[in-house]
Amino acid sequence: MRTPGSGKEPVHEPVRPSWCCAVCPDGTPWPCPPGRTQLAEAYVGEPLALSVDVGELLTTAAEEVGITDPAELYERFVSWTWIDAGSRR
């Protein structure tokens, strides 16, 4: 997994085992909108790599948080990757 962030703003990363954002208000699920943007920028031009990497995090988060709904997991971790990453080519 690549480390997002350019040093201009704090990196939106997950707090484990809750998988909430370390920067956003309490309880904001990660990846949050700013976290998604940072990840997409870290993987610019490589949407497949981004999808694979967050897909791997999905399984870890599912185990740690106990999310069992596949649709929720897909929406939260994967569905946004092609749209955001593809627009930053």
For the chain, the domains span 31-86
Q: Report yes or no: 28 and 21 within 8 Å, Cβ to Cβ.
A: yes
Mean pLDDT of the chain: 87
pLDDT above 80 (res 61) = yes
The candidate with the shortest Cα–Cα distance to 74, out of 15, 13, 31, is: 31
pLDDT above 70 (res 40) = yes
Bridge partners of 15, per DSSP, are: 20
Question: Model's pTM, two decimal places?
Answer: 0.82
Look at residue 2 in the predicted model and tell me its pLDDT: 66
pLDDT above 80 (res 82) = no
Percent of the chain with pLDDT over 90: 70
Collapse the DSSP code of 51 into the 3-class scheme (helix H, G, I; strand E, B; otherwise coil) and give the result. helix
